[in-house]
Amino acid sequence: MTNQTRAASALELEAIFQQELATNRWAAAESAYALASLYRDEGDWEKSREWVKQCLRLLEGFPADTMEQVATTRTSVGGVQLPNHLHEGVVRERFGELA
């Protein structure tokens, strides 16, 4: 996405996620988190739950022993604000029953 001032649509974010999945799994985890947030905010609980699970699956492959290891690399994805740190605990806290 070239225009950083415009929020991305869910379809645009999903396309970005697919590209990142092949090249940068951490970025894909961040995008999955953003998609889960976007769908939750739209009231699509089922899709949000799918993306929460995708995010958690991706995070399983990363160490989470230090704050540096779980620090996000971007402040937002497609207009969705990311937490400063991304790990299973943050995802479960932010999404509650959807996780």
Question: What tokens does 85 get?
Answer: 């740190």
Query: How confident is the model over 32-58, as pLDDT tens digits?
Result: 999 999 999 999 999 999 999 999 999
Of residues 36 and 97, which shows the higher confidence score? 36
Residues in the chain: 99
Per-residue confidence (pLDDT) for residue 2, from 0 to 100? 43
Tell me: pLDDT of 4 over 80.
Answer: no
Question: How many angstroms separate the CA atoms of 60 and 98, rounded?
Answer: 17
**3-state class of 8 per DSSP?**
coil
pLDDT > 90 fraction of the chain, expressed in percent and rounded = 88
Listed by start position, the domains of the chain span 11-98
Q: What pLDDT was estimated at residue 5?
A: 53
Q: What is the pTM of this model?
A: 0.91
Check pLDDT > 50 for residue 75: yes
Report whether pLDDT(1) > 70: no
